Amino acid sequence: MTDTQAPAQPGTGDMAGLSRRSLLRAGLLTGGAAAGAGLVSRSALAGDPLITEVQDWNRYLGDSVQAAPYGKPSEFEAHVVRRDVEWLTASPESSVNFTPLHELDGIITPNGLCFERHHGGVAQINPADHRLMIHGLVDKPLVFTMEDLKRFPRENRVYFLECAANSGMEWRGAQLNGCQYTHGMIHCVVYTGVPLKYLLNEAGVKTSGKWLLAEGADASAMTRSIPMEKALDDCLVAFKMNGEALRPEQGYPVRLVVPGWEGNMWVKWLRRLEVGDQPWEQREETSKYTDLLANGKARRFTWVMDVKSVITSPSPQAPVAHGKGPLVISGVAWSGNGTVQRVDVSIDGGRNWKTARIDGPSLSKAMHRFYLDIDWDGSPLLLQSRAMDEQGFVQPTKNELRLARGDNSIYHNNGIQTWHVKADGTVENVEVA
């Protein structure tokens, strides 16, 4: 294998190296074909015992369309939910639950499965009562109702949102048992909102205004300092996600979108924007969301979420059930610096790499979906993925990160993840030297 191979383009019809012979050799279809031949000889005329036996749904009327004005997943998908780690936090209000990445595909996270992280619980806000204030070093302080905000030109953008602490416990080798827990503090949706620069321009930022304080209307009154350059660049004041209103746990009725930067800055239930001439040194940017180095000093204002990826299937929660033969290796990659240019996958713990196929839209600061389609010979695998972004940054190993920053860090772990696929198809979270 080589790491210089160009990625296959989506939609070319190339079966990514899977020959028909290989599929037959793998035993995937010969059994099916035999059964199929049996089925066909009868079912083309009179139907097949196997199928009629299980086809109650084909013999009786189904459910009414009026049963679900707002639809829900199938009862057979009841296991596909966000999950928290009860022992991780002191209270369920200041807590977190995780996106089930191992059950998802593509690049869009459905709203019902977007991870949550709160510091004071989920505020339940009536949008008619909500206000957004802009004040401080501005010509004209302003207060906006939700109706006011919806009269400005709006934009739609697909962005990932990753908590700075995503994969944080892996820094010290916790080896949590599944990508939902190791990497599930991320989601990616389409945001609809007003570019923040339009609102700041309405208020008229004074030349001395270099920083912005964003404050949430929840019980923690979450506050973060944001440099004016970012505020005037690509930030959005968003009121919709994936076409519908923001979910309560995502800041309904309005949140700040800070593309590519750590999720804690995407202030939910946004109530106040203050313009100042220096950062505010709030708790969430001093005692929290800084990176304590080995020498006792701390990295601060480490806002950008660096290039990162993880294989979502196979993974500890998504073992290989079908034995050897054709195996779809799938995962997600993202970078706060822009688009992901390439993802390489190793099945031998990083000794050899093969370029994966990135499929679907490749959008700046959005999740990317990659696949490597292989014939699994049934021997154990050490699966890794390594992403590279448009600025040339390459995802490091966990040990490279530890050498650079010591063992104290919790935030900004974008190290390469390793899954050990055993001969029986079960998968473990491991580290390779």
Binding mask 258-277 for a copy of itself (x = CB under 8 A): -----------x-xx-x---
Tokens for 121? 């619980």
Q: Which residues make Cβ contacts (< 8 Å) with residue 433, sequence separation at least 6? A: 399
Of 373, 390, 428, 431, the one binding a copy of itself (CB under 8 A) is 373
**Which of 157, 342 has the CB closer to a copy of itself?**
157
How near is the Cβ of 250 to a copy of itself at its closest, in Å? 8
Of 371, 393, 411, 419, the one binding a copy of itself (CB under 8 A) is 371
Binding mask 322-361 for a copy of itself (x = CB under 8 A): x--xxxx-x--------------------------x-xxx
Contacts with a copy of itself by CB under 8 A: the residue count is 141
Q: Is 229 in the site for a copy of itself (CB under 8 A)?
A: no
How near is the Cβ of 431 to a copy of itself at its closest, in Å? 29
What is d(CA 385, CA 228) in angstroms, rounded to the nearest whole number? 35
N- to C-terminal Cα distance for the chain?
21
Of 33, 294, 394, 423, the one binding a copy of itself (CB under 8 A) is 33
Q: Is 184 in the site for a copy of itself (CB under 8 A)?
A: no
How near is the Cβ of 417 to a copy of itself at its closest, in Å? 20
CA–centroid distance for 289 within its chain = 19
In the region spanning residues 274 to 293, those forming contacts with a copy of itself, defined by CB under 8 A, are: 274
* Other Cβ atoms closer than 10 A to 20: 9
Q: Is 20 in the site for a copy of itself (CB under 8 A)?
A: yes
Total residue length of the chain: 433
Of 25, 230, 247, 405, the one binding a copy of itself (CB under 8 A) is 247
Q: Which residues make Cβ contacts (< 8 Å) with residue 257, sequence separation at least 6? A: 157, 159, 191, 193, 235, 236, 237, 238, 266
What is d(CA 389, CA 396) in angstroms, rounded to the nearest whole number? 12
Of 22, 25, 43, 406, the one binding a copy of itself (CB under 8 A) is 43
How near is the Cβ of 416 to a copy of itself at its closest, in Å? 24
CA distances from 252 to 33, 82, 144, 237, 317 (A): 52, 19, 15, 12, 31
Binding part of the chain for a copy of itself, among 98-106, 166-174, 297-305, 378-386 by CB under 8 A, reads 98-106
Q: Is 121 in the site for a copy of itself (CB under 8 A)?
A: yes
* Other Cβ atoms closer than 10 A to 44: 9
Query: CB-side exposure of 116: number of CA atoms within 13 Å?
Result: 26
- Residue 57 burial (CB < 10 Å; 0-12/13-18/19+)? exposed
Residue 276's beta-bridge partner residues? 211
Q: What's 149's DSSP letter?
A: H
Q: What's 260's DSSP letter?
A: T
Closest among 399, 395, 317 to 356, alpha carbons compared: 395
Q: Is 363 in the site for a copy of itself (CB under 8 A)?
A: yes
Binding mask 134-173 for a copy of itself (x = CB under 8 A): xxx---xxxxxx-xx-xxxxxxxxx---------------
How near is the Cβ of 405 to a copy of itself at its closest, in Å? 29
Of 25, 52, 198, 420, the one binding a copy of itself (CB under 8 A) is 198
What is d(CA 366, CA 362) in angstroms, rounded to the nearest whole number? 7
How near is the Cβ of 147 to a copy of itself at its closest, in Å? 6
How near is the Cβ of 272 to a copy of itself at its closest, in Å? 8
Q: Is 90 in the site for a copy of itself (CB under 8 A)?
A: no
How near is the Cβ of 41 to a copy of itself at its closest, in Å? 9
- Coil vs helix vs strand at 84: strand
In the region spanning residues 374 to 433, those forming contacts with a copy of itself, defined by CB under 8 A, are: none
